[in-house]
Structure 1
Amino acid sequence: MHASSTHLGDAMKQQESNRHKFQTYATSFEMVVFFFCNPSYF
């Protein structure tokens, strides 16, 4: 199987956007855990 370079570029862009989404989700999850563990902090 042979993937064209444009297809490879699209796949990499897609992967990059997925990773960005995951980082955003992970960060918000960490924030929730932080709030949950430190209620007296607020």
Structure 2
Amino acid sequence: MKMCSLHFNKGLTRQRGRILNLHKSFLLVQWVYQNLI
């Protein structure tokens, strides 16, 4: 049971990291777009 919850938490943090990376890249694209205009 403990191993299962640990595995689940690891998957959750990985997903959160992926979402954070997406958000960062989105902000970067927005910044570049604003500078071009």
Structure 2 length as normaliser, TM-score? 0.88
2:2 corresponding residue in structure 1: 5
For these two proteins, the number of residue pairs brought into alignment is: 37
Percent sequence identity is 16
State how far apart, in whole Å, the 2-side matches of 1:5 and 1:30 are: 38
The aligned amino acid for 2:33 is: F
The structure that has the greater radius of gyration is: 1
Q: CA deviation at 1:37?
A: 1.1
Q: Which structure is higher in helix share?
A: 2
2:31 corresponding residue in structure 1: 34
Consecutive unaligned residues in structure 2, runs of 5 or more? none
State how far apart, in whole Å, the 1-side matches of 2:18 and 2:27 are: 14
Q: Which aligned runs of 4 or more in structure 1 are off by greater than 4 angstroms?
A: none
CA RMSD of aligned residues (A): 1.1
Structure 1 length as normaliser, TM-score? 0.79
